[in-house]
Amino acid sequence: MNIVVCIKQVPDSAAKMAVEGGQISWGEAPLVLNPWDEFAIEAALQLIEAGGGDLTVVSVGGESAKEALKTALAMGCTQAILVSDPALQGADSQASAHLLAGVIKKVGNVEAAFFGKQAIDGDMGVTAAQTARLLGWPMLGLVASIKVEGGKLQVEKSLEEGRQVVECQLPAVVSVSKDIGEPRYPSFMGIRKASRATIPTWDLAEVGIGAPTSVVHWPEVLNPPVREVKTEIITGGSAQEIAEKLADKILEEKVL
């Protein structure tokens, strides 16, 4: 089975993010392979191991994204492609989706495109569904288990009320949830292969599409308001009264 997995390089989840002089900064923290994408790679690798085929890992970004691609290669992906073009600066999710749909078409013979649930920088979680819509392929979101049977995908996907068991014709787009299981470590053999790999860079001309237009912008990014923990002791005449007041406060915090 030929699969493409789309990954992103993002600032480490432990990074202290800040806006300094209008620029987003992550200090000394490293850029890493988006953690959700590791689950997508793992799911795709399991399918390839079970039924044979090729796993192509693709990332849109600058030169540094090659590190994330190398990690993916070291986990076992067959080959990697970096998509990079100055015209892609500030691409929003639907521009990225147009681009990825073009890349998947260019790779050719692709039977499934895998994505992580979301990228931990933008936290959008929409690119997979948008790419599916552009390709005209079914979208299987938040897949918890996956296998191929009789040339069709058999998946369990998560919804609020439980899991759906779904049978899907190929080709399809899949986004993968944590329930798929722990992603594997890069093997030593994978590490050797990855460090020697040359990763081609495709620009828009190579992909064969014009520059997609971005329509969603973030004209302003702010540091979150500094929350001084001032303890508020809730009092009242009865347990009922206290409970009501406390419930008010908790609901106001919008954490439920």
* Range 203-242, binding another protein (CB under 8 A): 214-224, 229-234, 239-240, 242
Chain centroid to CA 159: 18
Asked if residue 87 binds another protein (CB under 8 A), the reply is: no
Q: Which is nearer to another protein, 123 or 205 (CB)?
A: 123
Q: How is residue 97 annotated by DSSP? A: H
Confirm if 78 and 54 have CB atoms less than 8 A apart: yes
Residue 82 and residue 66: Cα distance in Å, rounded?
A: 7
Q: Which is nearer to another protein, 205 or 222 (CB)?
A: 222
Q: How far is CA 250 from CA 227, 234, 238, 254, in A?
A: 16, 12, 18, 7
Asked if residue 50 binds another protein (CB under 8 A), the reply is: no
Residue 37 and residue 47: Cα distance in Å, rounded?
A: 16
> Which residue in 115, 40, 39, 30 sits closest to 67, CA to CA?
30
Asked if residue 53 binds another protein (CB under 8 A), the reply is: no
Residue 47 φ then ψ, to 5°:
-65, -45
Torsion of CA 36, 42, 48, 51, to 10 degrees: -110
Asked if residue 198 binds another protein (CB under 8 A), the reply is: no
Q: Residue 220 Cβ, how far from another protein at the closest point, in Å?
A: 4
Q: Could you say which of 50, 63, 181, 185 contacts another protein (CB under 8 A)?
A: 185
Q: Which is nearer to another protein, 58 or 73 (CB)?
A: 73
Binding flags for another protein, 126-165, as an x/- string (CB under 8 A): xxxxx-xxx---xxxxx-------------x-xxxxxxxx
Asked if residue 116 binds another protein (CB under 8 A), the reply is: no
Site for another protein in 10-49 (CB under 8 A): 11, 13, 15-19, 24
